[in-house]
Amino acid sequence: MGDFTVEHSIIAEIAAGYGAKILYNEKIAGYTSFNIGGVCDTIVMPGSADCIRELVTACRENGIKYYIFGKCTNVLISDSGLRGVVILIGNEYSAVKREGNCLICEAGAPLIKVCNAARDAGLTGLEFAYGIPGSAGGALYMNAGAYGGEMKDVVVYCEYLDSDGSVKRMEAADMDLSYRRSVFTGSDKVILSVCFRLSEGDPEAITGKMAETMQKRRDKQPLEYPSAGSTFKRPEGCFAAKLIEDSGLKGYTRGGAQVSEKHSGFVINRGGATCKDVCDIISDIQAKVFADSGVKLECELIPVE
């Protein structure tokens, strides 16, 4: 681990050419909302679409393993870290531009920033997303949603890097957006920017709706602890949190991981939780809920190793 190999030097050269931040042998935990994840060989934080394209192309052409993340708020990263190159598309690539009633956002733009930009422009439609801690790119990948809204309702098109290294545009109708899934799920396409269409609204009403949404989150979710949000997808016709609670698992603990006492749908990091603790607690929850109710809980968070 940590050898400055030829592979690393190719990536280092590209990063240097674009002035992108690059880190070696860096623990990724501090970059994730779960505060979990081991030491990674190389982490790059690109600041432009060209830099992303060159990094990804170099990795593909040289057989270097690579990972694309946004704000790392829906991933559970291995305690052994990740080999190869981790490309974090975050604050460094996060400009938000208004065009009429649309906001065109670089993929790393935090949703909070996008929602604030919509409010400042007097545009309504994104209030539901206020408080989802991910990036525009990550949110589109996941078709993130809350309180009756989802990305599907507001996305018009995106630009993405395709498997052949070319930059393309895709309209929302072609994205197969469904519950926490999109055409990007499991593919090697990299989302570069997202266009949201909103409508003119009353700034005071927008501000009020955003505050209300945030208050609901504060009241119901264990925001005081690191987590990856809802651990499981919503099963057909019921709620994961209710099934978990009915199985008597509220507060159940494995190592530093715990089923939140405030919201049983969240596994939280009570302090020092490892990826293994979280994987163990997830297996226990799935087994007990299945035994009690016959429902198979499917993970919403994405384990990465």
Ligand X SMILES: Cc1cc2nc3c(=O)[nH]c(=O)nc-3n(C[C@H](O)[C@H](O)[C@H](O)COP(=O)(O)OP(=O)(O)OC[C@H]3O[C@@H](n4cnc5c(N)ncnc54)[C@H](O)[C@@H]3O)c2cc1C
Where do contacts with ligand X occur on this chain (CB under 6 A)? Answer: 33, 68-75, 89, 107, 132-135, 137-139, 141-142, 144-146, 184, 190-191, 221, 223, 227-229, 302
Nearest to ligand X of 71, 288 (CB atom): 71
What is the Cα Rg of the chain in Å? 20
DSSP assigned state of 179: T
Nearest to ligand X of 160, 252 (CB atom): 160
Question: Minimal distance in Å, beta carbon 179 to ligand X?
Answer: 9
Q: Is 230 a catalytic residue?
A: yes
Closest to 198 measured CA to CA, from 124, 95, 117 = 124
Q: Which residues contact 250 (CB under 8 A, 6 or more apart)?
A: 244, 259, 260, 261, 264
Q: Is 163 a catalytic residue?
A: no
Nearest to ligand X of 93, 288 (CB atom): 93
Active-site entry in 182, 230, 247, 264: 230
Adjacent-strand bridge partners of 105: 96, 194
Active-site entry in 53, 119, 180, 254: 180
Active-site entry in 7, 127, 150, 300: 300
Question: Minimal distance in Å, beta carbon 253 to ligand X?
Answer: 19
Q: Which residues contact 70 (CB under 8 A, 6 or more apart)?
A: 88, 89, 90, 107, 108, 134, 135, 136, 137, 138, 139, 141
Question: Minimal distance in Å, beta carbon 191 to ligand X?
Answer: 4
Q: Is 300 a catalytic residue?
A: yes
CA angle 193, 143, 270 (to 5 degrees): 105
Catalytic residue annotation: 180, 230, 300
